[in-house]
Amino acid sequence: MESLYNIQQEYLELCRDLEENDGELTEEQIEILERNDEDYTQKIKNYRGMIFKWKGEIAAAALESDRIAAYVKKRRALIDRLTINVDETMNSRGLDKLDLGLDGAISYRKSTSVEADVEMLEDKWVREVTTRNADKNAIKKALKDGVLIEGAWTVDRRNIQIK
């Protein structure tokens, strides 16, 4: 079967012929027009079938996507809960590292972040965005270099790593 474009072009050509011949068509043109109508109807049925098929596939994929998103959310929550449990028990035992042999290790990685009261900071320590916030990278570097900054301080944290 021809493409919808070709079917439509043939139909438009027949319409031009009809206008040029004052509304008269030959028997051959009438047969071509009838075949064209049948081809057109069949092509539209096929298009409709594909549209409905793909809409169904999209709906099924959307449901599967929602199911997977719920699964991922649930698993992330479980991982968070287990990580908290490991963290709490390691802290209660005073452990900084637990070697699990070939199965990996549990340890803490030290990190330092900057906490700052933006309203107390001089403008040179503030980066303007749509809202005021502290330029923590510049402040952290300055604090490490020994500069005292009113309204800023470092906080040492321990972040658990499960490998």
Domain spans in the chain, listed from the N-terminal domain onward = 4-74, 96-162
* pLDDT for residue 159 is more than 60: yes
The pLDDT of residue 108? 93
pLDDT at 128 (0 to 100): 81
On average, the pLDDT of the chain sits at 92
* The predicted structure's pLDDT at residue 129: 74
Residue 47 has pLDDT above 60, yes or no: yes
Q: Does the structure show a pLDDT above 90 at 42?
A: yes
* Nearest by Cα to 112 from 144, 134, 77: 144
- Mean pLDDT, residues 79-101 taken together: 95
CA separation (Å) from 32 to 10, 16, 18, 121, 157?
A: 9, 14, 12, 83, 81
Predicted local confidence at residue 30, as pLDDT: 92
pLDDT at 149: 93
Residue 161: which pLDDT band, with cuts at 50, 70 and 90?
A: confident
**Measured between alpha carbons, how far is 70 from 114 in angstroms, rounded to an integer?**
35
Residue 163's pLDDT is what? 57
pLDDT at 162: 64
| 29, pLDDT greater than 80 | yes
The confidence score (pLDDT) of residue 158 equals 86
